[in-house]
Amino acid sequence: MRSASDSVDLFTYYRSTSSHRVRIALALKGLDHTVIPVNLMRVADVYLLPRLYAARRYGAGLEV
């Protein structure tokens, strides 16, 4: 269980309406979060792939 002092990492893309809704929900709940921008249109952001896959709860079986 997370304590109130824990921060959530939010991987986001600026055109993602889903991540925008999550930011709104986090703000309404009063949870601290860190926004990590990811450019989904560039393959150069592959340095984030291991971190993205590690953050996924159901990421088992995904190949990097």
pLDDT, one tens digit per residue, over 32-57 is 999 988 877 765 556 666 666 676 66
pTM of the full structure: 0.57
Beta strands in 1-64 (DSSP E): 8-12, 33-37
pLDDT, one tens digit per residue, over 3-18 is 555 788 888 888 889 9
Identify the residue whose tokens are 């929900």: 25
Boundaries of every domain in the chain: 8-55
- Other C-beta atoms lying within 10 Å of the C-beta of residue 53: 13
Is pLDDT of 62 > 50? no
